[in-house]
Amino acid sequence: MSEFIPVAAPALIGNEKTYVMECLESSWISSNGKYIELFEKGFADFLGLKYAISCCNGTVALHLALLAMGVGQDDEVIVPSLTYVSSANAVLYCGAKPVFVDSDDRTWNLNPDLLEALITDRTRGIIVVHLYGHPVDMDPVLALARKHDLFVIEDAAEAHGAEYKGRKVGTMGDIATFSFYGNKIISTGEGGMVCTQDEELAARVRQLKGQGQDPKRRFWFPMVGYNYRMTNIEAAIGLGQLEKIDWHIARRREVASWYRAGLHEFLQVEFSPEMPWARSVFWLSSIVLKDGIDRDRVMNSMLQKGVETRPFFYPMHSLPVYQSSTEGKQFPVADRLARQGMNLPSSALLTQPQVDYVIDTLRQALAGPI
């Protein structure tokens, strides 16, 4: 196969172009316009929540959620170490401190059993990250949060439509955030959403994202806010994507099923988990290689044959900005996953022959020198 297979690519298969052209023809291209309202309402309905507030990306969605929960100077928020950096950085934006927790071998998400030991009198809440499309084990997290009067923010940037015991992720915590970057389950190019069932939280988020303007008094700013708004064009793309979200999820799961079937005999490979209580959306079809295998050599070998892969995220405790706050602490599971984990091509547009080719290049790479 001579074509290059990227690790991710958006699938624009619906009304995206029609809606964007309507924006251009009507001149409603900025942060006002009908598609903002339609996309927000549609996404809230998809989750079964009352409120969804659009914003310009998933990172600022986290920042808005933390601000809405009242996080400030010297507060502490528990965050998984194995996540994308925005989950931790947003805590710093508030003047607070992220406190990192190790991963669970079974789910690759934060380990709920380790949370209570991290709680101090400064702990305000927990950010759970539904990593790579698989839900966190939420019941013990929620029980612990109730016990200690902590908030729970669901970072569902990678998990649109994933389910935990029949409940969609993003509907169980106090507030949730989503990303619509170009490689996500559905995309607006850039973009994010903050979702909640709480009217007061929703109003606070909406005011904060619009420079802090009083919703009843134009150009009156009783608080310091931010220009975190989504454009009508982005929302138009998002609505076109949202109308096909069941297709997007079904295709991701089908691609993952092809990988699972093709890799099940590979003793050197652990495939993306899916717990009995979970319905993963497999944002990325991910694998963890057995210790002793040179992951980077495998990735380079596959790239030479036209297959792009990506390593897992660096754990937060390994990054320079966070090392001093985690000195002496151990994160063995996150370290192993980050060291040996890699993401395979996962676009909803992939065909089975393409997936078979990826598997074949992986097999050849594993057969080479360790």
β-sheet bridge partners, residue 307: 5
User: In sequence order, which residues have a C-beta less than 8 Å from that of residue 220 and are 6 or more positions away?
Assistant: 213, 214
Closest CA to 16 of 191, 239, 251, 189: 239
Residue 365 CB: number of other CB atoms within 10 A? 23
Q: Is 197 exposed, middle or buried (0-12, 13-18, 19+ CB in 10 A)?
A: middle
Q: With both helix axes pointing from N to C terminus, report the angle between 245-263 and 352-367 in degrees, rounded to the nearest 10.
A: 40
Number of Cα atoms under 13 Å in the Cβ half of residue 226:
20
Q: Scanning the structure block, which residue is given the tokens 């992720």?
A: 169
Per the annotation, the verdict on 184 as an active-site residue is: yes
Non-local (6+) Cβ contacts of 135 within 8 A are 107, 109, 159, 162, 163, 164, 169, 275, 278, 279, 280
Burial class (CB in 10 A: 0-12, 13-18, 19+), 42: middle
Catalytic residue among 97, 168, 184, 209: 184
Residues with active-site annotation: 184
